[in-house]
Structure formats: C-alpha cells, structure tokens
Amino acid sequence: MLKQYNYSFNSDSGYYSFFTKRQIEYRIAFYEDFTLASCVGNDIELGNVYQITIDKISSQPEQFDVLISKTIKNIITAFF
C-alpha cells in the first residue's frame, strides 16, 4: 500500500505536483514572504519565512483521501 503519492517538482514554474488515485491534480508552491519584516526593528533580520499555497487543479470533487495530507506533509518536510 502507498504511504504517499509520488510527486514531482517543476523547476520552471516552481511548484510541486501530484495526482491522486482518482487522477485529481494538486499543486503546492512556496513563496518567500517579506510582510513580517515591517513588524520587527531594523536590527532584526527575518529569514526563511514562506507562504505555502495548495491548489486542487481538477474541478471534480475529491473524496476523503488520507494520502493527500501525507503527501503534502512530505513535500513541506522535503522543502524545509
């Protein structure tokens, strides 16, 4: 039994993607976030702050699938 879905990284667009067993595509992207820099003093440098977007590309409804969350968790872990 699968522990996660196989995923790939598209270096041109900068997102990870995978397909579920029902052929529904998900894309995960990480964007560096500079909005918190305005909340701290000039003597403090923030780094490695990211926004994470998770997009379900296919329009068909998805049933509960535990492998989706496991795959997303593994992508996030691999990124950091």
- Amino acid at the residue 17: S
Helices (H), the chain: 66-79
- Amino acid at the residue 48: N
- Cα 65–58–22 angle (5° rounding)? 40
What was the pLDDT predicted at 49?
A: 82
What was the pLDDT predicted at 23?
A: 94
Phi, psi dihedrals of residue 52, rounded to the nearest 5°: -120, 130
pLDDT tens digits, 18-77: 999 999 999 999 998 877 766 766 777 777 788 999 999 988 888 899 999 999 999 999
pLDDT greater at residue 78 or residue 38: 78
d(CA 23, CA 62): 10
Strand order in the sheet with 25-32: 7-10, 15-19, 25-32, 50-56
